[in-house]
C-alpha cells in the first residue's frame, strides 16, 4: 500500500515538474514572438512621422498631388501582394480618393506585372536600398502617407490610414 502511494506521489511530482518546464519553455518562446513587456501599451512610432519627407515626393513621382500614399513592398515579401490586394479592395469599397504609388524594392520590369491589373492605374516604381534607407523602412509592406511633403502616417498596415482619406 505504501509503495502505491509513493509511486502516485512520484508521478504527481514528475507531472508537476514537467508542467513547470513546459510553461517556462513556452514563456521563453513567446518572448521571442511578441514585444517585450516594457513595450506593451506603448505606441511604437516611425522616426520620420510628422517630419519632412527625406526625398521630395512630388519630384520622385513627378506629380503635384498634396497627398500621396507610398506603399513600400519587396519582391521577396510573401505578405506584400495580399496586403496590397486588401488595401485595393477597401479603397474600392469605401470609394477612397487617394493617389498612391508602389515602391518596389529590388524590382525589375517583369516584377511590375505582379501588381498590375486593368482596373487600377497605379504607379510602380523600382527602388534601391538607398531609398528604403532614406525612409527608414525595416519591414514590408510599409505604408507612408505624405501630405505637403510631411509624413503624416507610417505603419506596416493601412488600417489607421482609412479615416484620413476622404471618399470620392
Q: What is the DSSP letter of 167?
A: B
CA dist list (Å): 101 to 9, 25, 85, 98:
67, 44, 14, 10
Kindly give the parts of the chain with pLDDT less than 50.
35-42
* Candidate CATH numbers 3.40.30.10, 1.10.8.350, 1.10.3720.10, 3.30.2290.10; the one for domain 57-164: 3.40.30.10
CA dist list (Å): 65 to 25, 38, 76, 98, 115:
52, 40, 30, 10, 22
The pLDDT score that the predictor gives to residue 132 is 93
Alpha-carbon distance 65 to 103, whole Å? 17
Query: What is the tens place of the pLDDT at every residue in 90-118?
Result: 988 988 888 888 998 877 666 666 655 55
Amino acid at each position: 500500500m505504501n509503495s502505491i502511494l509513493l509511486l502516485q506521489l512520484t508521478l504527481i511530482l514528475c507531472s508537476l515538474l514537467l508542467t513547470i518546464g513546459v510553461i517556462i519553455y513556452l514563456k521563453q518562446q513567446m518572448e521571442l514572438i511578441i514585444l517585450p513587456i516594457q513595450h506593451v501599451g506603448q505606441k511604437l512610432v516611425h522616426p520620420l512621422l510628422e517630419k519632412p519627407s527625406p526625398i521630395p515626393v512630388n519630384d520622385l513621382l513627378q506629380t503635384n498631388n498634396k497627398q500621396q500614399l507610398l506603399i513600400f513592398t519587396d519582391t521577396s515579401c510573401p505578405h506584400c501582394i495580399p496586403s496590397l490586394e486588401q488595401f485595393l479592395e477597401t479603397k474600392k469599397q469605401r470609394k477612397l480618393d487617394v493617389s498612391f504609388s508602389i515602391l518596389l524594392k529590388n524590382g525589375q520590369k517583369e516584377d511590375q506585372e505582379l501588381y498590375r491589373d486593368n482596373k487600377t492605374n497605379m504607379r510602380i516604381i523600382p527602388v534601391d536600398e538607398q531609398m528604403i534607407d532614406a525612409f527608414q523602412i525595416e519591414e514590408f509592406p510599409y505604408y507612408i502617407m505624405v501630405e505637403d511633403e510631411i509624413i503624416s502616417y507610417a505603419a506596416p498596415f493601412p488600417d489607421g490610414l482609412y479615416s484620413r482619406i476622404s471618399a470620392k
